[in-house]
Amino acid sequence: MLPETDQSKKYVDLHIHTTFSDGNCTMQKIMEFAEVKGLKAISITDHDCTDAYPLALEIGEQMGIEVIPGVELSSEIQGTDIHILGYYIDFNNPEFVKKLSEMKEARFLRAQKIVSNLNKQGIDLRFETVLDIAGEGAIGRPHIAAAMLREELVYSFREAFDKFIGYDSPAYVEKLKMSPKEVFDLIKAAGGVPVLAHPGVTGVDERIAEFIRDGLQGIEVYHTEHPRAAERHYLKICKKNDLAFTGGSDFHSSNHNKFELGNLHIPYSAVKSLKEKLLN
């Protein structure tokens, strides 16, 4: 299914983060933003976490906004970090819940190790500050960067990554590793549709055919960092391979230099393309 061209159609945003992962807006505030924007459908896709649900579904029903249960999971292949979005997941599925619990624990231990590595380098960051910033959320490096800013150990969020916690830094600690196929299988076992997140950012086009064979069912065509040419490119791939096409702002907060929630004008036909995959 190709995108709608009628500009009178309402729009969707299917890639949103909250304070349950590395966003700094609460789920309730996100729902309010979506209502103000007049969005027809949204998906909260926190990293390794579905704690926004089922309350997000209840609020969405009250507001008249369709809420699609979603998640963003990390995978790795030959040193490349690949994010996979899962839509229409059963967030109560026992095996899915168990795996997310393992991922959350792994994130906690990883954050402890990164802070320990920073301390060994003479950077006196307190882990308690990281925990305070993360709150209920699954801990990630953005929380560590924010803690470094709060404790005035760096001048900017970017400096924290570039100098101290980026991929090539001495403090860096690898994530719990899963292959893309393992993530596809996990999402599908929970009744969901696996979608490759922002491929124009990760640069894995040469692997898309392999991913499709392994169970990929969609591509995130519209994204904050995808220019128009990339959108056309990935739409063509979706049409050729009968894949769902999706899109979202990847909203975290304005501090992360992401576009505002709902600004990409993604057509509702993206949701329809996901629903078609559920019927296959």
- The whole-angstrom separation of Cα 252 and Cα 273 is 25
223 DSSP β-pair partners = 248
- CATH 1.10.150 segments of the chain: 99-165
- The whole-angstrom separation of Cα 119 and Cα 279 is 52
pLDDT at site 191 = 97
**For residue 12, which of 253, 182, 249 has the smallest C-alpha distance?**
249
**In what order do the strands lie in the sheet containing 41-44?**
66-67, 41-44, 11-16, 266-267
Contact 270, 3 (CB under 8 A): yes
| pTM as predicted | 0.87
Series of mean pLDDT values for 10-residue runs along the chain (280 residues): 53 94 88 93 95 95 97 90 96 95 91 95 95 84 91 92 90 89 97 97 94 98 95 97 96 64 92 91
Contact 198, 178 (CB under 8 A): no
Q: Residue 141 CA to chain centroid, in angstroms?
A: 14
- CATH 3.20.20.140 segments of the chain: 11-92+178-279
Name the fold adopted by 11-92+178-279.
TIM Barrel (3.20.20)
- The whole-angstrom separation of Cα 114 and Cα 174 is 10
**Length of the chain counted residue by residue:** 280
Supply the angle between the helices 180-189 and 94-120 in degrees, to the nearest 10. 140
pLDDT at site 7 = 41
pLDDT at site 168 = 84
* CATH tag, 99-165: 1.10.150
> Both tokens of residue 180?
């893309």
> Both tokens of residue 32?
């309010």
- The whole-angstrom separation of Cα 245 and Cα 35 is 23
